[in-house]
Structure 1
Amino acid sequence: MEWLEDRESFLSEFLRMEGLPDGDICCTNCDRQILQSSQAFRCRDCDSLDILCQTCIVDIHRRNGLHNIEEWNMAGRFFTRTSLRALGHKYQLGHPIGRTCAAPGSFGTFTVLDINGVHEVDLNFCGCMTEQLRYLQILRFGWFPATVGMPRTAITFRLLRFFQLLSFESKTTVFEFHQTLQRLSDNTGTDRYRELLRTVREYRHLKMLKRSGRGHSNSGAQGTSAGECAVLCPACPQPGKNLPSEWKDAPPDKQFLYRLFIGLDANFRLKRRMISSNASDPSLSNGWAYFVEEVDYKAFLRTFGTLVIQEQSTCSNHDAVNKNRNMAGFAASGVGTCDDTRHDMKRPCSVGDLQKGERYINMDYLFLSSFKQKDRELVEVTVSYDIACQWSIHLWKRMNSYPSWMHIDHENTTTFRFLIPKFHLPAHTRPCQTSYSFNFNKNVGRTDGEGVERGWARINPLAASTREMGPGSRRDTLDDHFGDQNWNKTTKMGIKEAVKEAADRTTSHEEFTNSLFEKDVHEWTKQLNAWEEDHCAFNPFEGTYKGISQKAIRLRLAEQEEADVVSGNAFIMHEEISASRLITLGLEYELQQRRLFQDLNEMTVHATDDQKAKWKLRANTLRRKITSWMEVQQMYIPGLYLFRLRASESSDEDREETPVYEIPLCLPSSIIDRTSCDIRLLMLEWDLRYAQCMDSLDELRDSLCLRAYVLIDKKRFQRGQRANTRSQGIVNRIQAKINRAAIQYRTARSAIESLAKPLGKVGWDTHLLVLKDNDVRSLSAEETSTSEGRRNISWIWVHMVGKGSQEPDDRLHESLRIEWCKSRARRDRWVEEVELLQEECRRVLAFFEHRANEWENLCNGDQTWMLPGVEYDQLAINGRLSYARRQAAQFRRMGAHFSSLTQNVSKFIASKGDGTVELLPKDMSLQVAEDDKEAPEGEPAGYIIISDI
């Protein structure tokens, strides 16, 4: 590093700051000799380290009385800490700084917390004719009083705002922040933790009310309705705010543009211990933002908790359905939520505590309470949930037993579609992987349904601190962070480049379609359209031919041999082992050889004698079996004896005994070009090898699905070294099965390749492809860096068809149908995504315009927001009007900025994404008003309008 050359200079300057500078005159124009008068002071928080006299440093800090001061110790000749209060600085409330009060009120020592530390100050309250209550004098000075009656502590607004933003970014706690303030001021004897804790909570609550416009309502804060303080999603369809007047009259094929996408999930990291109670620690928000109102929620659970029966899962063994969480010592096992999954934003009145795991009754309440009256006007809603296949079965039946305010007209007004998020889908059974797939269901674009999970990733760092909070404090803290996440998304709305992908997928699909017979495409189109409308219809994504297993082939061969014996055409050279039995045993011994070799490689150098003995006994048993089998084999292949003899003569005579796993079995496929072999043996091995390929692929697919499920379970639920070690052991055993299945397939395919030419077999390599390492991957997207909509599925999943007695043309026909349907689904999803993005761009602009108009209407001067019986001075009126104007200007600015980001979208779409028009500038950020929340850039949330980028 170049800096290392100047390291000594930097170190020297650091040490130089510890002493006095040159000269002994005050740095102001007072010309006092500071060393002669023993008055030398400097400020640690000012921009410079000028040395000042006592009079000057107090005068300069008249408006910065909370800075940290150092005094030069003449005796010890070093700087020591002092304070402005010790030097005579005093605060006078109720008057501009510098003016005295005609009738000063009580005087006393006051503790103030600021970003510079904890300070003791001298304070005079005003006692003039304009005297106000003490807490009001403190507020108008710019400090937040810790109490109302006789305040002795205050916190500066800059400290509260700084901590709020810091907590959003770093998830720091009030306790940690308080300890930092104490160390900054070196004032370890002043403990103001409780005061700071209480004030931070009040400040958060007041900021929420202010930003939601409750200070401009004639019903005041007390008249706030449920969910009114939540930050709404600009891109979601909201009747009366961002939808065109004729949206309900849109054609049926365009109604999906006004579809609402929501998702449910639970988070079991956000637990809460049995600390305090709702009576001792009530929530200030009281259901006004994202958490549901606690009293009504608990009453609902008590009433219906024993009436709603949660059925066992008929799909995979999902913990969310079947498992009860350990509640020992906890008042809440986690939280459930109902989010906007397309834009990763929390919905109003959509979050609530869980008591006994992910019960349907809890999730029903959160789902139904998130639907406000305006939401129920929407025509189409897509609901994603990782157990949607189970939870949705009796949802409407359960809803009918709930209170009337929770009822939704799902039969006549709103159509609901239930799907499973893409990441969770591989853990479900095969029928669910098509019926509940975002990839195969129409009118959902490239939505992945995993928005809730991304939201948890950003909130999980709070789990350690909120676990120890009381119920009200915890809900208010989480509400504040949820609001910040929503606002962060709102200020960084953008559009992703889906147009080019849609053009590429359309071209690829058209080329594929043109290579097929027109009658087939017509038939498949009807089947796919019918299934998209009704999942009870024939599913064109699933194969109808069942793979023929080795057991089925053996049965068929045994039946054929029985018929040959009756007709006198049997190929039998041994009274106990038939030709088919000979080949079958050879394949079994080949498999046992591989397993022995694998077990030997997995045996460590510290293996016990018992382990080594067991392996040796298996090897000896297999050697005896192979030796006996070879004697029978030579009866069916007479030239094999001479072949083996020549092979042994050409080898080294002094060579040690061949390991059992290396003994050549000389099956027909391996000696076909070196010795003669009956064509019937070749046919037998062909049939058995073909079935072996099918069995290997089935085992490979099943093991990959199982591994995907175990990995999801390990990531989401396993905590601690013991649980993770046990899960990793299971993953390793599954991986061993995957490796064995892959080797077995490659071996069987290599044998088929050798047998194909002498048997005149053609077309087999169109469905038995070469298995590369990259082909051995599951359907789960986490095993590849490319998303499902952009990547090509491994052929092992495409060719999931029977390879037995059916004619190759029939099997290939079905394979092409499945791949064609998937190709069309990929094209349709991208085309839908482009249309959704265009509509969402329009909705964002309309929402910003609507919000700007709402704030402007509060500036018309009629003061309709005034509370009855409350007197307002002109300053209070002016403040409200100024804030409303600033908010209106902010939303106008956000709308203008977003419009500039999307001004070339229509041109880009017209060019079909060929790159001739620049879509968006790289800078996606928005400049927001200083008063509003700031947060880090959000993570990409799939393939949708969202912060990017």
Structure 2
Amino acid sequence: MFENNHTESKPSSTTDKLRPSKLPGNGALPDEALASEMPKQGERNLTCLKDKYSLLRSVNDGELEPGCSLNSAAHHATCKYNWPSMLGAEHFPAYGEMVENPNLVEAMASKRRKIFEKNHTTRISRPPKAPRLFTDDDAPSQSSGRGLLLFIDDDKPQPLSATAVDEPSPSNLPGDEASPHQAVAPPDKRPNCDTPDQEEQKKTQTGETMAQFIAEMPKLLRLILSNEAGPEVGTLCSCESGQYRTVQCHDCFKYETSCEQCFVDRHQRNPFHWPRVWQPEGFYRKMDIACLLNNTYSIHVCSHGIRCRSPAPPQKVTVVDTNGIHSTRLSYCYCDGYPDYVEQLMNVRLFPATLRSPRTMMTFRVLDEFHEHHLASKKAAYDYVGALRRLTDGAFTPDVADPYLQFLLVMRIWRRLLADKHTGQAYNLSSFFPHRQPGSLVLFCFGCPEDGFNMEKGWENTPAEMKHLNQIQEMADGNYQLNAFAKNNDPNDVSLETANGIGYFPDEDVVKRYLKDTVEEQEKSTCNYLKVVNNQNQKKFKNMRISGVVNIACSHLIIRSSVNLNKGEGYTDLAWKHSLSHTRHNRDCSHHGTTDRMLSYDCMCQYCVNLVKRFTRNFPDLKHIAERVRCSIPALHIEGHKDRCKYEFHSAYIPGAGHFHGEGIETPWAELNQVGAATRQMNHGHRMGVITAHYTYWNWLKTVKMHITLADQYREAKELFEEKHEVFLRLCVSFEDRIPGWLTLEKMSPRLPNGIVKNIYEHSKSKAPSKEKVYQELLESSAKIQEIADTGDDTVLLLQEGLAIQHLQERVRGKLTLNQTETVQKDIRSRRNELTKHIEDFRILQAIVMPRVDKLVSALSSTEVEKEKLYLPSDIQASDHESLQLTMLAQMEQKVRLGELYDSMKSVQKAAKAYSVTHIKKREDERGTNAGLRSTLALKKIEVERDCCVADYNRARTALINLKFSGAHDIPPMSIADTYRRSTFNARQLGDSRRTDGSLFRLPALPAMTYADEVKEGSDEEGPIAGTLAVRRKRAVRKIKSKKEDNTTELKKEKGDGWIWTTALIVGANSSEDLAEYEEEGDRIQWFRAREEMERWRETIEQIQATFLNIIRGHHFMQKSWSKMADLRAAPAANTLYPHTAWSMGHAAYARRQAKMYEQFYINSKNTYARLWF
């Protein structure tokens, strides 16, 4: 009734449409007056005025009914027309007051009419004032009495925007009397009411949603409060028992208020819902179900029905559930004789805190919920139990039972039981994995090759050059946040997850024996990084029983083992040994040539020195693995090592390593460090159980999405391999004649145990030139362009003299960018004098060779000598060459410019190399202020010379374009970015595997093979099982991120003038011998590094494909194993760990569910593999 309070006929024209019908009632305005005073804002302003006057007319005429109608009107007007701003917020009482006092409604209606008439009359007498646009941020205050006029389209509803103007009155509506509708926009071109700021700052979806909620907050708060009680309370219950409705349940959905007996009858299967009982004082009070029926009700745990025929006397117990802590009554069942308390409680999904006369118990639901909350959010049990107590009673929490200690103990047992359940050890699933540790609780990696689990038959025949397909990549790292304080511990409180080495931590007895038999060795550090070995701050380990942990994980981020540390990382051997002990195969060593194992550790340069010796002494059965393992240092940590370590332990140089950066071991610490604050206060057994649960949770998260992670890695590896392969092919063309000699050098060089070839990826320090020598060689090379041949031909002499002048002009302009010291200014004056003499001689010769350009030269204005235009043929439009008789000279200049282009490119290459060497020398060798300033000046000079060489190249290219040289446009321009070349003097830098050299050092782009767009993932089709079934909204298809959005476009053609980039990179015979050798080394290093980068990404692609196949086979194996367990008709054979042989339908149901889950994993992995187009 508020949006359409008036009716009007369809307008015949725009003008008629803008004329409102006469508004009857107290708020009526004459039609002519309104039309004559119509604002320039157009039809939407007028429409809003009509709607508002209609609303005011309804209020004034008393058409609104008392009570609900007026409340709805007030609420509607508040939201739509900012009614409090029009009439003042003080005139709006709370909703509750209007409900309780209906007379207040009539009084408020009368008061609002008077206020409106007063404001309306006052405002009519005000002088005309143009309306001002504003937003919500500068809207008028509610006490100002100025209303908000909203623009509303008369044809279609519009959302309430933040744009508004001051409310106009009939006397202050601006307009032109002679042309009252002059400013009215036509219907298809309505005026834009948004300010520029609003157009630039559009609201985000979150901001828009938040604004909607803010506007509706009074309504939402009213609805929340109205749920505290309903009008049905105190009426007769529908059960016709004559009892009144006094009990409500907020745990049920849409529960109808009932009497106590009805509540009890309806909650016999939900006894832990809180009844809310109506009190005589007029409010609901939360109680336990045992308080109903005059405190006579008790919960029965009988398995033969809801109510037991032979119940035991009720006992007062404490039950912990997700909605609070219940102090209630419970009766055991005597139907089958003397009850087994534990079995009866477990049958109704209650877990007892003790096994003898339990009085405290937890529902399975609360144990599962806390387990998931703790793993995901790292919430402590103390906080969780405290929250449950406050949920029970937030005001009188101390009166609520505190089951914290019992909850801790039960959770330790619950974690171990869940581990046995999920890993299948309750089914003796180890019988399907005879090569694994019996009863193992470790979640193994599905991607790492494991004989007897996920490897194909005949894998032993893999060629040695393809052994990286059967490679296990492991990482080791220590963490000092998962420590433990030295506290009094119960010696009988043992860990449940370490016995017999079944968990991630080795058996405690094994650790004690190892520490007893092992002599602590203090190895001398040879690398500046090894503070992890010798330089740990011992003060931080004060009062610590355990200083941290050292973990072993695979490259798929699956944690394999962990060992507690005691002041340093001296336990890595034991951690790696325990990782190897999870799988034991009794077989000969004939397959060693077809498998590979890598180990990455941040202090590997010291750790591997005596690795074989230590394993021979302490773990002789694993000696053969220590002898064959290939060692590396993580790509980020190696930056802190000496250069020797970078060339001997970087995985980028290890054949068959793939892109194994080794830093993945760091990723779990971000999650596990959050647990450290709690575990350091726990006793030893509890701490081990909590950390083990988090290890398993981390591994599971990585397992379920491993196929997605691998797919992303494959796409990245494929793109980078194509890029690196293209770069390598370019370099092969550039260095074609020198590659055979480099390969011979590679064969003659020694190899390290990890496969790295020494001395081919680094410079010989003795051949590195000094800054002075580099600068002099650079100047000599650059000066060659200025030399003028004495040919006796005036035409050639003119062109060469002109090029030499332009070269010298560029150097003067470069000198002007330097710090203008007295020496620099003197050099500039000298060069300007030299330029002046050259230009004078050039003008004399130009008058002979190019007589017709005399008018152009005479018209030149006086300017600095380095900016003077020479008017060579390339400086004159090609269309004027014939009239000026410059056609032949232009053809000759083309040839000269080609030579200049060639020489400039070589000069840029030399300058870029010189800049790189000088920059490194400055950073590493120069110390002190004076030396630093001198080095900075030398570096700046080389930088200026490099920029001048780039300018020479671009000037030659521009001249060829102006001369209409065929193919000139195919010559690429050059920028400073194109001179980038990764330093061959330095070791590899972090991120080099994803960077390439500038185009100056590479060939033109080779055509790439087209390939079809990959099939997008994210299908909404469900497989045989989708976990928890639910009615889900259809998800939008997730776009696969790729740098190549269009892979089917036409291939780019190879550029025709590729000779520029295939030219030899060394200047030639006039360079000094050591500088030439240094540049030769640089080219060789660049080629070898480019080859290794390409090879690593190729190996990565192949390893990802092999890993995918391992995952698919592993999921299929698990699905078959669980299916066999589900088909059993009796329990598996008893063993020492699981002597209980009872079998139930629940055993088979859970096994079938696990089998179906792994079947879905198998299908998902297989589908993802198929989409990747291997």
Q: Same fold (TM over 0.5)?
A: yes
Instruction: Select 1:500's aligned residue among 708, 718, 726.
Output: 718
Taking a change above 3 Å as real, the CA distance of residues 114 and 253 of structure 1, as seen in their structure-2 partners, is same
Taking a change above 3 Å as real, the CA distance of residues 753 and 329 of structure 1, as seen in their structure-2 partners, is closer
Is the aligned partner of 1:59 residue 2:265?
yes
Is the aligned partner of 1:98 residue 2:294?
no
Taking a change above 3 Å as real, the CA distance of residues 553 and 811 of structure 1, as seen in their structure-2 partners, is closer
Distance 1:492 1:394 in 2: 38
2:222 alignment counterpart: 12
Taking a change above 3 Å as real, the CA distance of residues 782 and 542 of structure 1, as seen in their structure-2 partners, is closer
Distance 2:998 2:382 in 1: 52
- Deviations along 1:282-312, whole A, 9 cap, x unmatched? 10112421111122112211221xx241312
Give the number of equivalent residue pairs: 743
What are the equivalent positions in structure 2 for 1:691-710 lying under 5 Å apart? 694-700=917-923
Is the aligned partner of 1:747 residue 2:940?
yes
Identify which range, 314-323 or 263-272, moves more after superposition: 314-323
Query: 1:783, CA displacement in angstroms?
Result: 10
- Deviations along 1:193-221, whole A, 9 cap, x unmatched? 0011111111001110122222223999x
- Deviations along 1:287-342, whole A, 9 cap, x unmatched? 421111122112211221xx2413122122421122243321110111011111x1
What are the equivalent positions in structure 2 for 1:837-916 lying under 5 Å apart? 837-861=1104-1128, 863=1130, 865-867=1132-1134, 876-905=1143-1172, 908-909=1173-1174
Distance 1:108 1:258 in 2: 62
Query: 1:515, CA displacement in angstroms?
Result: 2.7
What are the equivalent positions in structure 2 for 1:252-267 lying under 5 Å apart? 252-267=464-479
What are the equivalent positions in structure 2 for 1:712-727 lying under 5 Å apart? none
> Is residue 553–residue 691 contact of structure 1 (8 Å, CA) maintained in 2?
no
Identity rate, percent:
23
* SS of match in other structure, 1:418: strand
> Is residue 689–residue 752 contact of structure 1 (8 Å, CA) maintained in 2?
no
2:382 alignment counterpart: 175
Instruction: Select 1:251's aligned residue among 442, 463, 466.
Output: 463
Query: 1:451, CA displacement in angstroms?
Result: 1.6
Identify which range, 368-377 or 890-899, moves more after superposition: 368-377
Taking a change above 3 Å as real, the CA distance of residues 311 and 871 of structure 1, as seen in their structure-2 partners, is closer
Distance 1:207 1:459 in 2: 20
Distance 1:376 1:454 in 2: 34
Is the aligned partner of 1:203 residue 2:408?
no
Distance 2:410 2:1001 in 1: 59
Identify which range, 773-782 or 57-66, moves more after superposition: 773-782
Query: 1:62, CA displacement in angstroms?
Result: 1.1
1:44 alignment counterpart: 250
Compare relative contact order (CA 8 Å, sep 6+) and give the higher one, 1 or 2: 1
Distance 2:1089 2:660 in 1: 16
Identify which range, 771-780 or 112-121, moves more after superposition: 771-780
Taking a change above 3 Å as real, the CA distance of residues 297 and 25 of structure 1, as seen in their structure-2 partners, is same
Amino acid corresponding to residue 749 of structure 1 in structure 2: I
- Deviations along 1:24-64, whole A, 9 cap, x unmatched? 4367x314666xx4x51111222235322111111111111
Instruction: Select 1:114's aligned residue among 289, 301, 321.
Output: 321
- Deviations along 1:802-840, whole A, 9 cap, x unmatched? x99436544333222211112111211111111111111
What are the equivalent positions in structure 2 for 1:634-649 lying under 5 Å apart? none
Query: 1:460, CA displacement in angstroms?
Result: 1.2
2:508 alignment counterpart: 294
* SS of match in other structure, 1:374: coil
* SS of match in other structure, 2:504: coil
2:362 alignment counterpart: 155
Instruction: Select 2:693's aligned residue among 480, 494, 503.
Output: 480
Distance 2:658 2:911 in 1: 44
- Deviations along 1:728-787, whole A, 9 cap, x unmatched? xxxxx99x9999799546423146569999xxxxxxxxxx99699999999999999xx4
Distance 1:884 1:693 in 2: 64
What are the equivalent positions in structure 2 for 1:290-689 lying under 5 Å apart? 290-304=504-518, 307-324=519-536, 325-326=538-539, 327-340=541-554, 342-347=555-560, 350-359=561-570, 362-372=571-581, 373-374=583-584, 379-411=595-627, 415-494=628-707, 495-496=711-712, 497-498=715-716, 500-501=718-719, 503-505=721-723, 507-528=725-746, 534=752, 537-544=757-764, 546=766, 664-666=822-824, 670-674=828-832
* SS of match in other structure, 2:220: helix
Amino acid corresponding to residue 700 of structure 1 in structure 2: R
Query: 1:897, CA displacement in angstroms?
Result: 1.8
Taking a change above 3 Å as real, the CA distance of residues 146 and 26 of structure 1, as seen in their structure-2 partners, is farther
> Is residue 769–residue 1075 contact of structure 2 (8 Å, CA) maintained in 1?
no
Instruction: Select 2:404's aligned residue among 187, 193, 213.
Output: 193
Amino acid corresponding to residue 365 of structure 1 in structure 2: L
Taking a change above 3 Å as real, the CA distance of residues 492 and 329 of structure 1, as seen in their structure-2 partners, is same
* SS of match in other structure, 1:150: coil
> Is residue 692–residue 748 contact of structure 1 (8 Å, CA) maintained in 2?
no
Is the aligned partner of 1:134 residue 2:338?
no
Taking a change above 3 Å as real, the CA distance of residues 851 and 868 of structure 1, as seen in their structure-2 partners, is closer
Taking a change above 3 Å as real, the CA distance of residues 134 and 553 of structure 1, as seen in their structure-2 partners, is same
Query: 1:865, CA displacement in angstroms?
Result: 1.6
Amino acid corresponding to residue 391 of structure 1 in structure 2: Y
Distance 1:253 1:449 in 2: 22
Distance 1:861 1:265 in 2: 43
* SS of match in other structure, 1:202: helix
Query: 1:408, CA displacement in angstroms?
Result: 3.5
Between Structure 1 and Structure 2, whose CA radius of gyration is higher? 2
What TM-score do the two structures reach when normalised by structure 1? 0.70
Amino acid corresponding to residue 837 of structure 1 in structure 2: I
* SS of match in other structure, 1:543: coil
- Deviations along 1:443-489, whole A, 9 cap, x unmatched? 12222111210121221111111111111111110001101111111
Distance 1:692 1:823 in 2: 21
Taking a change above 3 Å as real, the CA distance of residues 755 and 513 of structure 1, as seen in their structure-2 partners, is closer
Amino acid corresponding to residue 5 of structure 1 in structure 2: A
> Is residue 466–residue 474 contact of structure 1 (8 Å, CA) maintained in 2?
yes
Query: 1:872, CA displacement in angstroms?
Result: 7.6
Is the aligned partner of 1:80 residue 2:322?
no
Distance 1:553 1:893 in 2: 68
Query: 1:404, CA displacement in angstroms?
Result: 3.6
Distance 1:814 1:882 in 2: 68
* SS of match in other structure, 2:331: strand
Amino acid corresponding to residue 7 of structure 1 in structure 2: M
> Is residue 276–residue 284 contact of structure 2 (8 Å, CA) maintained in 1?
yes
Q: CA RMSD in A?
A: 4.5
Query: 1:380, CA displacement in angstroms?
Result: 1.4
Distance 1:428 1:675 in 2: 53
* SS of match in other structure, 2:495: coil
Distance 2:491 2:986 in 1: 47
Unpaired runs of at least 5, structure 2: 1-210, 778-818, 836-909, 951-973, 1003-1064
Distance 1:443 1:689 in 2: 33
What TM-score do the two structures reach when normalised by structure 2? 0.57
Taking a change above 3 Å as real, the CA distance of residues 469 and 64 of structure 1, as seen in their structure-2 partners, is same
> Is residue 701–residue 796 contact of structure 1 (8 Å, CA) maintained in 2?
no
Query: 1:357, CA displacement in angstroms?
Result: 1.0
Taking a change above 3 Å as real, the CA distance of residues 272 and 741 of structure 1, as seen in their structure-2 partners, is farther
